[in-house]
Structure 1
Amino acid sequence: MELFRDSVMGQIIRRLTNDKILLYSEEKAGTDKHTMMAPTDQYAMMAPTENLQNTMLKPEQSAEGNNSGKEKDVNFVVEWYSDEDPENPQNWTGLKKAIVLFQLCAYTMAVYGASSMYVPGEGDIMREFHVGATPAALGLAVYVAGYGIGPLVFAPLSEIASVGRNWVYIPTFFLFVILSIPTAIVKNFAGLLVLRFLTGFFGSPCLANGGASVGDIYPALQIPIYLSCWTAVWFWGPAIGPVVAGFAVQAKGWRWGLWEIVWLTAPLILFLSFTLPETSADNILHRRAARLRKITGRKDIFAASEIAQAQLTTGDVVWDALIKPMEIMIKDPAVLFTNIYTSLTYGIYYSFFEAFPLVYPQVYGFNIGETGLCFLTIGIACLIGISIFYTYQFCYLLPEIRKNGPRAPEHRLVPALFAVITLSAGYFMFGWTVQSNIHWIVSLIGVVILVTSNFLIFQSVFVYLPMSYPKYAASLFAANDLCRSVFAVACILFARPMFENLGIGGGVSLLAGLSCLGIAGMFALWKYGAWLRSKSSFASS
């Protein structure tokens, strides 16, 4: 019932019934309703020793009791009722957290999967709209551009206490589902591209804020462990897309691949609307303060986030959305390198998969559906990557932290030090084993190696970035997402011409060589990252 009450639909029903059903603890009759409040100039918690009606005096009584004219304007800050407050997402049961994590993963997989469900139908799109291979690839490219730009808007918006995570997730995902319908029936190529961009844009909140939601519900030491599940899903999403759409496109044409996006996401938006609870602590306390004001009739009760938000201007929101991510990246060399390297790696990763339709149908005689099945190797690679990451976490890092205290963020990069080396090996193995006289399984082993390496690199970086500047985690992820997506768009467009001109071996070897560029940089970041942060003009400001 709590899942439903705290979901978007639960909150709508509460509003429609004037908060008469789906009650919170302080709204229930006969319940001791304690609160932790503090004057805004102290922010010290008062022990809850009386029920709400006795603790929260009327303003006139409060002023008389304090015998000070200055106290008339004192605001009281609503905080958690206790360290074990069940409404604090950090205190949710393991089952409730697991349900929320599953929902975030399903949401993320659906949006990422929708990017590649388009790919099996590119040949049909070329024939129907009379366009070449590069224009046809724009359908994937503009989708990636959309979910790269979206976080600049939605990441800072979700940090506003009165908005929270859910009122970003659900309305935008609803628009994603609605726009997916005309995308499947559009009759002209320009309209198809516009709709693909818009679906990518409105699908982006889970990609921008999913990691923040994981951080909302798990303690700091556990975040890397559970964040790896979310990271694995956005790796696996593009792999599932061609598998799901491949056989449908082969049998019914390219539109069926896009209809499958609707069939997948329509039930999911209903599920999330009714069962995904709000995870933002600021938003939860914001709503609690509003309830307490309504119950007591007092106007001097606020959440700390409300007080901060009252001082927030439109310019502040725009600054955080558009300028702050770029400011951090420009002023901090460690963040700049991280964004450049992950952008390069991400672009190479997307470019690489453009080789699949040129390899397995032409060299090994696979049909569209069978070619899609080759993407399942990504799932195997993610499982291997998670196993390696967990081994490092549980066998070394966590025992080290318990013994010697918190470690520098650079310790999170250790798995990536090995992965940057094996990454190039995986690309070379694939590029030079896709020959008719060599079994196809050998090249797919190379795919497993390179995807495992990519997973470890991104997982390490996604943990490292927010630990460098925890206060600006949303801005860091937004900047990284934008850089990666912009680079991926360019790579998608030049990938097929590159493979056609250089051949598979030459093209993949070029990608392998480019991936080597970050080896020295990753080791330098691991060794000198703390020193670079100390010299950062952003950190000093």
Structure 2
Amino acid sequence: MKELFRDTVAGQLLRLVTRDRILPYPEEIDPSICQKYINAEKSENMARVGSTNLPPPPPKEEEEKTEEQSPSSESRHPSTNSSTTNVSDTNNHGTNTASNTKVDPEKGRDAHIVDWYGPTDPDNPQNWGVVKKVWVTFEICLLTFSVYIGSAIYTAGILDVSETFGVSRVAATLGLTLFVLGYGVGPMLWSPLSEIPQIGRGPIYIGTLALFVILQVPTALATNFGMLLAFRFITGFVGSPSLATGGASIGDMYTPAKRTYGMAVWGVGAVCGPVLGPLVGGFAVEARGWTWTIWELMWLSGFTLVLITLFMPETSSANILYRRTQRLRKLTGNDKLICEPELEGQDMTGREIAQMVLVRPFTLCFTEPMVSLLNLYIALIYGLLYIWFESFPIVFTEIYHFSLGLEGTAFVGILVGVFAVLPPFIYYQRKYIEPKFNDKGELQPEWRLPPSFVGAFAIPLCLFWFAWTSRPDIHWIVPIIGTAWFSIGAFLLFNSVLNYLSDAYPKYAASVLAGNDFFRSSFGAGFPLFATAMYEKLGVGWASSTLGFISIAFIPIPFILFKYGAKLRHRSKYAMKEF
């Protein structure tokens, strides 16, 4: 418990205020163990070639030619174990004291690389215990739920907003769409910032969620419609980190073979938001009006803010290593101590950072066929979800005569579908996918896609079922049962696609996932604006069927990528090519 609290934002602030006297790290208690954090092999590589990793050996012909040109090469000094190295010795006549290796005057750099002290280093998030990983995963799910519910909880009050501000229902729907658009744009900024070692994920989560909580007050107290819309967009924007970076935090803790389980649980948290939002918001609007939904959102997100501030440790390995390096510099006075994340940051220019934040997500979206197709498919599913949600008031209020509060219970079928598909999905992953990982912990990305084959057919099945069973002569439980197929399909598609993109683009995962979030949120923001007119003119049957036909057109995408994905990856300059 002490170690967990020490690495939270609250714990780090407490250390800062007390000048590190409270919650000390092991090396601050016993400075002699500082030696074990220095990686002698990587320090040696830095001394020889200026990089922590040696370049691949040259072709045999070039190697023979080099030997002919310089037959006598200077032998390097043997490495020594880091445990016998004096890390406070910062000057030894051109010799890297961390590895006892002569520094190459042209290529090398005298640096002492701070790293994990071994494969079992407990500070490495992937080495955390099961209980700690489960707890942090739960917190990320709660954080995601607390923001995601902000979109759907508003829908229950759309008619009340329309009456209060004297605007049409379509205009009142902008309060939903702008919020969704905000959390689609936000990750393009917040996700890259959370990758910076000096910042990490915790401050981004805490800082943006604090703004999210505070800004609910002017949202609920909005005196005109324009003010309401402005704050709905801003709150969506500042609340967005959990929706894109949450997946990155899951990836921080789990190996690729186990990551899919964490992503699956996180996906359940994401689904609970849109599903429970109308249920919670419906009764609130009935009792107190639309503003009560905003106050509920503030209370929920405020509770989450307190919880994660006190009990969610930093998950970014880059930030953990950076802070370790800072502590070792302070303890030893050795300014040559540096970690690999810092090295990468030093080599980046301002232009490269701007390109990473502003350009790369869009470049990958529009120049990589695999990313474009899957982003389009997921965006479509997301858009269909939000436009389909607009039919629920028509079906369950006008056809089945549910009250506004009871209307929210119609969404429970979607939640049941998620819990129904979770056990077989986990069984499939353990039985068939985990054995396909090689000794390096790598998997051919295309093997992430088979669950999406089922999901692709589940979406149109749901929409056609819902379309033609939503009639007065058919009991209301029948269309509700049909809604479960949408969450089954969306769950399988989202997990397959997000894991596939992470595996296919491991070096650019943050940019790829941020672009995916932007794509799907753009569709989710735009589609509800024409939902009401579509259902009024076509009727529930043909409007939902139209959505079903659109989803059928996209079914071939995962099958095509499963067959040709490897060829496309080998042609890409960004994707992994080993498989």
Instruction: Calculate the TM-score normalised by the size of structure 1.
Output: 0.95
* Aligned AA (1:9): A
In 2, distance between residues paired with 1:362 and 1:403?
Answer: 58
Instruction: Give the 3-state SS of the residue equivalent to 1:302 in structure 2.
Output: strand
Q: CA deviation at 1:61?
A: 4.5
1:260-339 superposed matches below 5 A:
260-339=296-375
Name which of 283, 293, 297 aligns with 1:247.
Answer: 283
The answer (yes or no) to whether the contact 2:256–2:442 under 8 Å persists in 1 is no
Residue 83 of structure 2 aligns to a residue whose secondary structure is: coil
Q: Counterpart of 1:518 in structure 2: which amino acid?
A: F
**Residues 429-440 of structure 1 aligned to structure 2 (within 5 Å):** 429-440=465-476
Q: How does 1:78-97 map to 2 (within 5 A)?
A: 78-97=114-133
1:122/1:136 contact within 8 Å kept = yes
- Tell me, in whole angstroms, the C-alpha distance in 2 between the residues paired with 1:143 and 1:309: 33
2 CA distance for matches of 1:484 and 1:89? 30
Letter in 1 for 2:289: G
Q: How does 1:401-416 map to 2 (within 5 A)?
A: 401=437, 406-416=442-452
Farther off after superposition, 123-132 or 238-247:
238-247
- Structure 2 match to 1:43: 52
Distance 1:532 1:361, change over 3 A: same
Which SS does the other structure have where 2:215 is aligned?
helix
Flag the 1:70–1:522 CA change in 2: closer, same or farther, 3 A: closer
- CA displacement, residues 79-122 of structure 1 (integer Å, 9 cap, x when unaligned): 01222111111111111111100100000011001111111111
Partner AA of 2:52 in structure 1: Y
* Residue 109 (structure 1) aligned to one of 145, 148, 152: 145
Is 1:467 matched with 2:503? yes
Aligned counterparts of 1:534 and 1:91: Cα–Cα separation in 2: 33
After superposition, the C-alpha distances for 1:489-535 in whole angstroms (9 at most, x for unaligned) are 11011111111111111110111011111112221112111112223
Contact 1:117 1:245 (C-alpha < 8 Å) held by counterparts: yes
**Matched AA of 1:339:** N
What SS class does the counterpart of residue 77 from structure 1 fall into? strand
Structure 1 residues without counterparts, runs of 5 or longer:
none
Letter in 1 for 2:19: N
The CA distance in 2 between the partners of 1:240 and 1:46, in whole Å, is 59
Please, which moves more after superposition, 391-400 or 154-163? 391-400
Offset of 1:422 from its aligned partner? 2.4
Alignment match of 1:360 (pick from 396, 402, 411): 396
CA distance in 2, matches of 1:407, 1:104: 26
Counterpart-to-counterpart distance in 1, 2:519 and 2:426 = 28
Q: Distance in 2 between matches of 1:404 and 1:283?
A: 24
Larger gyration radius, structure 1 or structure 2: 2
Question: Could you give the per-residue CA deviations for residues 258-306 of structure 1, whole angstroms, max 9, x where no partner exists?
Answer: 1000111111101111111111111101011100000011111111111
Is the CA contact (8 Å cut-off) linking 2:219 and 2:228 kept in structure 1? yes
* Cross-structure match for 2:261: 225
Amino acid of the structure 2 residue aligned with 1:60: N
CA distance in structure 1 between the partners assigned to 2:398 and 2:537 by the alignment: 16
Q: Is the 8 A contact 1:36 1:47 kept in 2?
A: no
> More deviation in 71-80 or 508-517?
71-80
CA deviations 1:290-324 (Å, max 9, x no partner) are: 00000011111111111211222332222112211
Corresponding position of 2:536: 500
Mean Cα deviation higher: 513-522 or 190-199: 513-522
1:479 CA displacement: 0.7
Which has the higher mean CA deviation after the structures are superposed, 452-461 or 306-315? Answer: 306-315
1:388 Cα offset (Å) = 2.9
Secondary structure of residue in 1 paired with 2:146: helix
Q: Distance in 2 between matches of 1:169 and 1:55?
A: 38
Aligned counterpart, 2:25: 24
Alignment partner for residue 446 of structure 1, among 479, 482, 500?
482
Unaligned runs of 5+ in 2: 54-78
> How many angstroms does 1:57 deviate by?
3.4
Q: CA deviation at 1:466?
A: 0.7
How far the C-alpha of 1:67 sits from its partner, in A, is 9.8
* Equivalent residue for 1:394, pick from 421, 427, 430: 430
Q: Residue in 2 aligned with 1:215?
A: 251
CA spacing shift, 1:30–1:512, aligned 2, 3 Å: closer
Structure with more of its chain in helix, by fraction: 1
Is the CA contact 2:182–2:235 (under 8 Å) kept in the aligned structure 1?
A: yes
CA contact (8 A) 1:333 1:536 kept: no
Query: Counterparts of 1:331 and 1:69 in 2: how far apart (Å)?
Result: 42
> Paired residue for 2:571, among 531, 535, 541?
535
More displaced 10-residue stretch of structure 1: 55-64 or 469-478: 55-64
Match of 1:277, SS state, is coil
- 356, 368, 381: which one pairs with 2:417? 381
Structure 2: how far apart are the matches of 1:19 and 1:537? 45
> Counterparts of 1:401 and 1:42 in 2: how far apart (Å)?
29
Report SS of the residue matched to 1:164: coil
Q: Look up the SS of the partner of 1:49 in the other structure.
A: helix
What residue in structure 2 maps to residue 172 of structure 1?
208
Greater Cα shift, 143-152 or 317-326: 317-326
Query: Residues of 2 paired with 1:62 and 1:55: CA distance?
Result: 15
Alpha-carbon contact 1:332-1:537 (below 8 Å) kept: no
The change in CA–CA distance for 1:70 and 1:471 in structure 2 (over 3 A counts) is closer
- The answer on 1:513 being equivalent to 2:549 is yes
d(CA) in 2 for partners of 1:199 and 1:149?
Answer: 12
Contact 2:397/2:407, CA 8 A, preserved across alignment: yes
Q: How far did 1:404 drift?
A: 12
Task: Give 2:90's aligned amino acid.
Answer: P
**2:216–2:298 CA contact under 8 A, matched in 1:** yes
Distance, in Å, in 2 between the alignment partners of 1:132 and 1:419 is 36
Kindly state the Cα deviation for residue 344 of structure 1 after the two structures are TM-superposed.
Answer: 1.1
Q: How many residues align?
A: 538
Counterpart CA distance in 2 for 1:226 and 1:472 is 20
Cα distance in 1, alignment partners of residues 571 and 228 from structure 2? 47
**Whole-Å separation in 1 of the counterparts to 2:12 and 2:232:** 31
Residue 91 of structure 2 corresponds to residue 60 of structure 1? yes
Query: Given residue 213 of structure 1, which amino acid in structure 2 is its aligned partner?
Result: S
Q: Deviations over 1:41-68 (max 9, x none)?
A: 3637963424xxx621322357577696
> Whole-Å Cα distance in 2 between the matches of residues 442 and 539 of structure 1?
45
Kindly tell me: are residues 225 and 76 of structure 1, through their superposed partners in 2, closer, same or farther at Cα, counting changes over 3 Å? same
TM-score, normalised on structure 2?
0.89
Tell me if structure 2 keeps the 8 A contact 1:236–1:382: no
SS at match of 2:338: strand
Instruction: Tell me which amino acid in the other structure corresponds to 1:98.
Output: V
